[in-house]
Structure formats: structure tokens, C-alpha cells
Structure 1
């Protein structure tokens, strides 16, 4: 459980994580369809020992629902824009149901023309991107996803929040094996991980953030009140800016700074857009998908040959453990969830 590893915990089977999430979300007013989509993402995070994207997010989801900013029951409007473009208007609801409803058409288009894009507009976003990526690789396509957030992150050389944590994720389907997937924030760390350090009273490494005066800090609280930093200095800053543009103005939606302005102090989840690209290896690979898949597998094997770990292997190992034994969540978090009004 990361920073909570020494705390008292509660054992939960995976199915109860999903059921608990659904009870809390529907009890707070979220429609069943939205609640189940959100619960699937929360359960995936908890199952794969990604604590910052599991049950830890549930109280924040309820707070967002009670902010008065979001729709609790909007039906996504799916638009077939062109042979290679799908647009889903989430209607100021969570993004996940819009993604699930639009994904089949996205994959159909990718397999027809080689590459296709899904634009999700007007969506509240709180979740990791890798569950969406795994959903698409499971349908036989490679995929790339990106989204802005709130302007919590200072650009390289800056002192104040301007960019979002701006995650980017990619997945490659593998015949007979779990897909290759990476998902990371372009900030030095995900904001949820920073918050977990704050809750646990643990210091953060230098380089994660600056305080309100722009000074380097090892205090998670000071960095949360000041500004987070990008990973890799100017390189992470440039990549984050690309995501702002591609998942903001390019798709007709908000930047992280505009999302923060829309929030207006309610501290809800970010509200903006998301861009997802799907690639069909059979078409793009020139007609010999088996040879190209073998080429990819040779690359992955070369990692193992020198003892290197592929991204997502840790999650898959955690998933196997959780499916067999269930998960353990901090009792303080479990009690907080129960107090939400079940």
C-alpha cells in the first residue's frame, strides 16, 4: 500500500471493492450507468495496487458530485464525425461512460482506415488512463491517450501552476500475453501520490514541487499549496504543453488553467476534454501483422534478457495477487468511505 504500508488495514475481495464503490456513488446520486463505469476504474486501480487511483479516489468523486458543477445522469452523445473521428460529448459528467460507449466505434474506424481518434468533450476526469488503454488493446488495437487536468504544475523555470499533471498513456496488444502499457503523469509524480504523502505525513523527494513562494520543498502540503513540477525539467514541460494543446484547443476543449477557472474553488475533479488515438497494426503494418508482432516481441524479450522490467509488469503481478487474495485498504480510508452516507 505504499505510504500506508504500516497502517491498520481492512481486507476486501475484489468484487466488494466494486460493490462498495457502486453503493457509495449511487447513494450520493450518480446514475447506475455512470456509477458502474466509475466503479470499474476504481476497482482496477485497487486491484492493481495503484492506491492513488483506487478507493482513495472515492471521497473525491463524491465531493465532485456534490460540487454543483457536474451532471449526475447525462447520457453521452456519440457523434460519427468522419471515417477516422468519433466525438463523444459527456455532458459535464464523468468521462468513463462516454469512453465505454464510444470505444467500439473508435475501434471499428481504426480497423477500417488504420488510425482513428476519439474526442471526449465536456468531461470530468479523475481516473488513470491505463484501464482505457487496456480496454482498447483487448480489442486488438494499439492506443494512445492524453488529457489535461487543473493547473497545479509549474512549467520549467516557472514558480506558479500553469500546466496540469497531464498524463499520457500508450498500449500495444500482444498475442497470448498481457499488453505492453505505460501510463504516467508529465508532472514529477501524480497528484494523488503527492496527496498520499501529505495524508501520511511523509516528506516528498526534492524536485516534486515548490512552495507558494516558488522555493524547493520536501513538504507535500507546501507543494500542494504551491506548485508541482514536471519530470525531466524542460523535457517534461514540453511534453506537458503538447498534451495541453492536443487535448485542449485541438479538440475544442479547455486547458488546465481554464479547467481550474471553471472549478472556481470548489475543488472538484478537473473538467475538460480527452483525446484517444487507436491504431490498427494489421493495416499500418503493411500486410504482415505476424512478422511485425514477432518484431515487437523480440524487443520485449531483449528487456528481459538484461533484467529490465517492462512498464505494467508490476501491475500485472499485483493483479494476480489481488484476484487470488483480495486487497487490503487502510482502515482510516475505509471508515471515511463508510461515513459518506451509505
Structure 2
């Protein structure tokens, strides 16, 4: 089905409220869901919404959580998501995060005790739209291993970078420390598709290209030890500095009744404090790199319509 933006927002909002979410929680989640679709990150758009709906019903997500916001220092904002969604805490701190970053040049946003953050690029993209450069990291339930360990030690531990540029959409990188996101493996399993080598191991720790076996196993870090090092760095920022659960201690985001209670860590910078012509220089540099054959992240995406599969809509309606 093809949706107008407002109709898509209403579908997501209504589904969340039917699952028990408060108006504030439902509205925040709907905004992030539709934003992911428009950004071309459909795996964490409506395809990810059933995880939230099931979380509301089963108790993994507090349905009416009211995030607690504190200002530990002039350029530090701390949030406790109170076992709710990560997006609401960010939404409620957003205005202060932008204002303080423009005032002080840099501000840190640190949030603990939330469900999975959804599309991580949602946070950096919004800050870039406000004229800021941002780096965001988060951790999640342990579902990634290394070939040396063969045990679940990290979440997919993504990181995202966003920056404003002249004459175009914000530049955004959003990638996991794993070779892919778990939702991509699950989607391949549902379709009976194979997955590339290096994405995952099966339940016995053996590398596999069978998505159905990979779902029973674990994801692998990209680039071997280098990717695992980045996952650890993300873990230290997202869990260590926020006070959220380490991935090893985070309950499942897909089963049970306990919140993963993980962290979200963001550093926002005001580029004009450092380089007044930053946006123009970035635009020119990206154009120059593209002319050299470099694929600029996001440049291959051109979403002009919101199309949602009938079976996914039926699944959402059923939930």
C-alpha cells in the first residue's frame, strides 16, 4: 500500500496506542518510524514496529514512561528513559540539546534505561537539520560474537554520524559494528533467502549463509578484530558512560518481559564555532569525492513514496 506521510504517521501512532502506549510515546515512536522509511532505512521503519508493539504488550517497554531529564553540567544532558522508548527522551531534550550546543559549541546527551533506539540515524539526522555535527552510538542485547569467542558478547552496537551541508539533505552515516543488522538476517530467514558469508554463525558457532540457521546463532563483527574493537568502543560509550546495561547484561529486545535498559550516547558540535564555512566546504568535498567515484553514504537512496507491504500492514494490524 502507498501512504501519504500523515496517513503513515497515523497508522504507526494508532498501532502503538492500541498496544497500550501513551499518546506521547506513540507520537514519538510514529515520528521515528516514518522518518526511517523516508530515509530509506526500512529495516528499522515499519518492519521494526512489530518489535515495539510486542514489547508494549509483553512489558519489555514501559507504555507510559515519562523520561527524567537532568543537566549535570552546562554542556551535559542526562536522561533516564524509565524503561520506555529511547526516542521520547531524546525528543524532550532536543530543544535544549540544540540550544546548548549552539551556545557552548559542544554538548553531550547521555541516556540510559531504554528499549532499542530504532534507527540510529534518526538522532544524528535531526541534529544535522538543526545545523549541528553529531556522533551517536548505542548498544543492544548481546547477539554478536567474534570468531575467537563464538559467544554472544556485544550488541550490533551501531554508530551514526551526521553533518549539515549546503544545498542538500544532511550527510548521514548509520552503520552497525556487525556485518549487518539482525533485522536483515531475520527478514532473509522469513523469505527463505541466503545471506552473504561473514554475516553470521549458526547455533554451533560455525559460519553460515543459511539465514534460518543464522537466526538461531549470532552475528559477526565486520572486518574481524577491527570491527570488534569498534563494537567495544561503542559499548564503553553507550553503556559505560551512560550507566545503561552492558550488552552481556541486557535482556532480549524480542522476548520476555524485561527491558534491555541499554544506553544512547550522543556528542553534538556546532561547526560554525570551529569553521564558519563548514557546510559549503563539506558540500564541495562530497561532490569532489563523488566525481572520483566514491559512493557517498545515502546518495543511492531516493525515496519518493512510502510503500508498505500488505503482509507487514496485516501483521501490524494483527498486533
TM-score (norm 2): 0.95
Secondary structure of 1:296's aligned partner: helix
Question: Which of the residues 68, 78, 87 maps onto 2:78?
Answer: 87
Maintained 8 Å contact 2:179/2:221: yes
Question: Which of the residues 271, 276, 287 maps onto 1:281?
Answer: 271
Maintained 8 Å contact 1:155/1:163: no
Match of 1:310 in 2: 296
Aligned: 1:122 with 2:113: yes
Aligned: 1:38 with 2:29: yes
Provide the C-alpha distance between the structure 2 equivalents of 1:264 and 1:294, rounded to a whole number of angstroms.
43
Provide the C-alpha distance between the structure 1 equivalents of 2:128 and 2:106, rounded to a whole number of angstroms.
14
Show the 5 A alignment for 1:176-325: 176-260=167-251, 265-266=255-256, 270-285=260-275, 289-290=276-277, 292-315=278-301, 317-318=302-303, 321-322=304-305
Unaligned runs of 5+ in 1: 1-9
Provide the C-alpha distance between the structure 2 equivalents of 1:51 and 1:199, rounded to a whole number of angstroms.
16
Question: Which of the residues 123, 133, 136 maps onto 2:127?
Answer: 136
- List structure 1 segments (4+ residues) > 4 angstroms apart after TM superposition: 262-265
Provide the C-alpha distance between the structure 1 equivalents of 2:200 and 2:3, rounded to a whole number of angstroms.
34
Match of 1:68 in 2: 59
Provide the C-alpha distance between the structure 1 equivalents of 2:253 and 2:18, rounded to a whole number of angstroms.
24
User: What does the per-residue CA deviation read over 1:40-98, in whole Å, with 9 as the maximum and x for residues that have no partner?
Assistant: 11112223332211211122111111222331112111111102100111111101010
- How far off is 1:271 after superposition? 2.6
Distance 1:179 1:48, change over 3 A: closer
Provide the C-alpha distance between the structure 1 equivalents of 2:247 and 2:139, rounded to a whole number of angstroms.
6
- How far off is 1:162 after superposition? 0.7
How many residue pairs are counted as aligned between the two chains? 319
- How far off is 1:265 after superposition? 4.8
Q: RMSD of the TM alignment (CA)?
A: 1.8
Distance 1:11 1:263, change over 3 A: closer
